[in-house]
Structures are given as structure tokens and as C-alpha cells.
Amino acid sequence: MVDYLIVGGGIAGLCFAELCLQNNKSFRLITDDSQNSSKIAGGLYNPVILKRFTGLEDAGLQLDYLDEFYSKIESRTSIKINFPLPLLRKFFSIEEQNNWFQAADQPKLAPFLSTEMVKKNIRGIDAPFNYGKVLRTGYLDTALFLKSYQNYLGEHNLIVNETVDYSKFVINDNEVRYKDISARKVIFAEGFGIHANPFFNYLPLDGTKGELFIIKAPELQLTDIINTSVFILPLGNDLFKVGATYNWEDKTDLPTSEGREELVSRIKEILQCNFEIISHYAGVRPTVKDRKPLLGNHELHKNLFVLNGLGTRGVMLGPYSARMLFQLSENDAEIPMNYSIRRFKKKNI
């Protein structure tokens, strides 16, 4: 018998797997890679909602843990995945400049918004109103994280590549059996795939489709992350990741002509240079209307847990949320209501 069966091999599932390794808990992880939002994610971590200049709850705590957490993963896999990098918010008017500095005076935002205007000539971008700098930002190479970590699990016979069959779960008070695997507890971290999960599909996870590009722009001399109506992330060798769109209706992971046109239009508003689209990706983010994670255990089956709803900020929320769920499972620690599935009641259980 293993301590945990983890269903889902995206950011959420792998973060919980890492906590198992750190705490000497045995586990098996099942994935079929059907949910690709983690793979194609922008991977940015940023403690501020820059559209409205508002702070994120627990942002400082999440960033503190993020550094420690991904550093341990880099040591485990011997692969660099975390890249701290400055993020510049391009101002489009004097009014935006004023809103920035007003926000920087707020105690919640002061640790993250620089009060020094950044006057920087970036070839390929016209910024007559300059930039504001967000502190403690960077990006995680999510595709490399998933590939290297799943390879590590495979080398240690900890991963099973198959599509989970929910009808094969046999649940008892002290044990859950799935085919030939016996586990004390099960962690469901399937992302948008939760809709097929009969134990937690009542949870209001909507899913938001996002599309992004990899572009080549040899004339663009950019070494920082730029955030405007889209983000532009330098990857090296004249390549840049650009995104993302938000579509609340389409739940497929196929790139669309509408998404392409929207991204091209936004890029042309920012870049004053030529660019070539190298790749076009799409995925459905596991989002909840209140933009909070879904953490907790089943009301009847206490040994079934859910780790989901990380939305657009999975890189920041993943380690922090996985730790909260691990502490609930192992120590019966209480999960704050704004993270807990208890804020959503299932009828007629």
C-alpha cells in the first residue's frame, strides 16, 4: 500500500508529489497528459494584478515558498526551471503613471511596486510614458518542469501513464483501491478534467481557454518581461513567448483563428518591429469564478482530496496550495475558507 495515489500530472499534481518526496510519503501518480494547460502556460509569477493595480492575497507568502520549493526541485532533477526576471509595466498615459504611484503607496502593494520610474529605450517598443517595475517577478519553464519531473518519477517507477477509469475506484474507510494500486488517500489534481470526476464534478470549475504564441523578432532587444495588454517574455535566440487570450466559452485546447487575430492585433499595438509566429498554443485553465483554488476532502469519503482551481497563477499557487492540502491530510490542519471547497456545498450527497 502507498500513502497517496495522485491523479493528474500537471503543476498541481507534481507539486503534491514533491511534497510526498520531501516528507518520505510513498505514492503513485497517474496521468495521461490530456490536460495541457500546465504545459503551455505562460509560467509567469507576479504578485500584482496589473490591469487594476491590485494585490494578490498571500502573495508574499506564496513567493517566499515558491523560491524554496522550486529550488528543491531543481536540485532533485539537476535542471534549471526557475528564472527570476524583472517585469516592466508599460504606461500608456500620465493617468496610468499616477495610478501606479498611488497603488505603490498602499501597504499591501508597497513591497512589490517600485516607486522609481523606469526610463528605458527598448529597441522595438515605443514607450513615451516609460515603465513601472514590479518586484519579485520571474517565470517558470513549465514545459521543462513537467517533462523533467515526470521523467524523474518514471526513473523511480512512481508514475503510471494511462487515462484514469473512475469506475475502478473501490473506497473503504482506511484504503482506496484502484486496479492493482492500494492507497491510504487519493489526491485528484486533474485541472479541467475534474468535470469527468464523479466525486468532485459538482465544484464550479468553469475553465478559461488561453492562447499564446512563440514569436521570433530579431529586431526586438528585450531582456525583461513586458506586461501591457499581453505579456512578452524573452526566451533567448530572438524568441519570445507572448500571451494570452481569455475565452470563457470555448473549452477545447485547439488554437483558433480568432485567438490568433486577437494576439496579432495586441502585439502590433506594442511592437514597432517585424515578428514571425513560430508556434501557436492553446489550453483550458482550471479557473473558478471567485478566482480562488479548490482544496479539501470529500464530505463522505474523507480519504479523497481535491487540488484544483489554480487558474492563471498555477506557478505561484501550486506549491502553496499543495502544502495546505498536505497539512490538511497529514495533520488535519484547517484550510482557510477562501481556499476551501467548503465554500461550495454539494446538494443531495
pLDDT band at 348 (very low <50, low <70, confident <90, very high): very low
What is the pLDDT, as a whole number, of residue 2? Answer: 98
Upstream peptide bond of 244 is cis (omega within 30 degrees of 0): yes
What is the distance between the terminal CA atoms of the chain, rounded to a whole angstrom? 28
- Taking residues 310-320, report their average pLDDT: 94
Of the candidates 294, 286, 307, 285, the residue with the CA atom closest to the CA atom of residue 5: 307
Task: Give the whole-number percent of the chain exceeding pLDDT 70.
Answer: 98
Examine the pLDDT at 120 and tell me if it is beyond 50. yes
As a whole number of angstroms, the distance between CA 37 and CA 312 comes to: 9
pLDDT at 347: 52
Whole-prediction pTM:
0.94
**Burial annotation 35-50 (CB, 10 A radius, 16+ → b, else e):** bbbbbbbbbbbbbbeb
* Assigned CATH class of 2-41+143-205+289-343: alpha beta
**pLDDT higher than threshold 70 for residue 36:** no
How far apart are the C-alpha atoms of 188 and 44, rounded to whole Å?
24
Look over the chain and give the mean of its residue pLDDT values, rounded to a whole number.
94
Q: Give the per-residue pLDDT at 289.
A: 87
Q: Which of 133, 119, 126 is nearest to 86 (CA)?
A: 133
C-alpha to C-alpha distance for 289 and 35, rounded to whole angstroms: 20
- Return the pLDDT at 17: 98
- What span, in angstroms and rounded, lies between the C-alpha atoms of 113 and 210? 27
List % helix, strand, coil for the chain (3-state, nearest 5).
30, 30, 40
The confidence score (pLDDT) of residue 35 equals: 64
- Write down the pLDDT at residue 312: 87
CB neighbour list of residue 121: distance below 8 Å, 6 or more residues apart: none
Instruction: Residue 330: name the closest of 294, 310, 305 by CA.
Output: 305
Element (H or E) spanning 261, and its range?
Answer: helix 257-270
Long-range CB pairs of 16-24, under 8 A, 24+ apart, other chains included: 16/187, 16/189, 16/307, 16/322, 16/325, 16/326, 17/149, 17/153, 17/158, 18/69, 18/72, 18/73, 18/76, 18/149, 18/319, 18/322, 19/322, 19/323, 19/326, 20/326, 21/76, 22/72, 23/326, 23/330
Could you state, in order of their start, the residue ranges of all structural domains in the chain? 2-41+143-205+289-343, 86-136+208-285
What's the whole-number mean pLDDT along residues 199-217? 94
- The C-alpha cell of 249 is what? 466559452
What kind and span of H or E run contains 329? helix 314-331
- Is the pLDDT score of 349 beyond 50? no
User: 170 falls in which pLDDT band (50, 70, 90)?
Assistant: very high
Q: In this prediction, what percent of the chain has a pLDDT beyond 90?
A: 89
Strand partners, 4: 27, 185
Per CATH, the number for 86-136+208-285 is: 3.30.9.10
**Residues 123, 222: Cα–Cα separation, whole Å:** 7
| pLDDT at 34 > cutoff 80 | no
For 288, which DSSP code? B
- Per-residue pLDDT tens over the stretch 59-114: 999 999 999 999 999 999 999 999 999 999 999 999 999 999 999 999 999 999 99
pLDDT given at position 346: 65
pLDDT in tens, 241-257: 999 999 999 999 899 99
